[in-house]
Amino acid sequence: METKSVKIIIADLQSKYNSATSEKNEQRFFLKLTSYGKDLIDHQDELEGVLIPLFKEAEEMISDYKKHCEEFIKAWKPYAKDLIEKAQKLDVVKQLDYEPTYYYSTINELLKSGKSEGHYMEVDNYYFPYMKIVYLFEDLAKKSHIKNHLDEEGNILLFYPYQNITGSWEGYKSIRGISVWWAHYQIMRATHGILRLKDDGQYFSGDTGIDDLYRYEFKQIQLGEKSELGILRRQDFQEYLERFHNYLIPRLEETKEKPSVLSIKFENDALFLKLNDRTDTSLDFTSMRGNNDMLILFKIYFAHWQKHKDEPLPSSELKIRLQSAGIDQEQLQGNFLSTTNSNIRKKIVGRHLEDVITITYDKQQKGYSLKIITSN
């Protein structure tokens, strides 16, 4: 993928944002949203610094919920194991019809899996089969055998940690729904779904009915086979796009306004640079007249900068170095320095590098300074 400057990336994203938000047709809106999302994927290296805070925010936001999930599953295991053992001992298993048999098998499989984490849908898979078997003991008048699973009023003890999860999940969903990271996630989900990109389960867990519905409608959009959508609402996704775009662009603009050089080297008589917006560029010193004046002078400046950074190179020493490099005395007595410095500056401006590379004259110290703005 070709590396683009932040300025060009901003222009591309702004153009695609305007096109999507002004689109009247619902299906074409989603296709244009996907084009915007594909740009985010293609330039994820350039956008990394802006997106990392969103990923951290997402992790912090769900941490409380995940803690409750882990606590529930930890509490569930001994209760589930005890319940299964008693069901076998009391021949409850033999009296199971199809549905309770399914719940019994589910509990057994979860105990064998040894999982200690889960999201909301998975936690339901732990609690409901367990709850159904507890109710079965009651139906079979064997409630006295599972008193350790119930409180004094006959309520299931595990209901309380499960209730903590449901409350935490609802709170998490409310906050998540208005966050920037969730807006970015939804744009990426639509992009992966419509373009059918490999996501390794990041945007589709693969085992829920709602994911299947999303996959189906995303595929319909890609194939152009559906004019009216069901669960996909343009209003929701336009809000996601607006929220994320309004977060992204000002931060990219700030990055664009502070250019610096990440790496720099001289090779084959040209200067090669990588800028902080991830742009690779170069600066050569060829002349229309075919002479090497600019190359000779800039090499002297660059060698001095490598050792002394912004400290001026005295004019007297500069002239000695120029003579050693083959510039004769007659040239130096003329306007060699002013003309050659001017030509180098034109090269710098021509490559749009004037914000990171400058050549100045210090009257007080009577010397020339090459200044290169680096990121360290």
Residues 6+ apart with CB under 8 A from 71: 161, 164
In sequence order, the β-bridge partners of residue 369 are 360
Q: Which of residues 197, 231, 257 is at a domain's end?
A: 257
What pLDDT, in 10s, does the model give residues 101-144? 778 888 888 888 766 555 555 788 889 999 988 988 888 888 88
Identify which has the larger pLDDT, 70 or 231. Answer: 70
Co-location of 268 and 248 in the same domain: no
pLDDT at 299: 93
Co-location of 124 and 265 in the same domain: no
Mean pLDDT of 181-195: 93
Q: Which of residues 242, 257, 272 is at a domain's end?
A: 257
Co-location of 162 and 274 in the same domain: no
Co-location of 249 and 272 in the same domain: no
Co-location of 213 and 288 in the same domain: no
Q: Which of residues 257, 280, 315 is at a domain's end?
A: 257
Q: What is the phi/psi pair of residue 114, to 5°?
A: 70, 15
b vs e for 149-183, b when ≥16 Cβ sit within 10 Å of the residue's Cβ?
bbeeeeebebeebbebbeebbeebeeebeebbbbb
Co-location of 186 and 51 in the same domain: yes
Co-location of 154 and 300 in the same domain: no
Stated pTM of the model: 0.61
Co-location of 188 and 74 in the same domain: yes
Co-location of 41 and 154 in the same domain: yes
Co-location of 116 and 219 in the same domain: yes
- Counted domains in the chain: 2
Say what the alpha-carbon torsion angle 37, 43, 49, 52 is, to the nearest 10 degrees.
Answer: 40
Residue 64 scores a pLDDT above 90: no
Residue 253 scores a pLDDT above 90: no
CA dist., res. 353 & res. 344, Å (int):
11
CATH number at 290 reads: 1.10.10
Co-location of 187 and 284 in the same domain: no
Q: 330 lies in which domain range?
A: 261-372
Residue 274 vs residues 129, 214, 264: alpha-carbon distances, Å: 58, 41, 7
Co-location of 147 and 163 in the same domain: yes
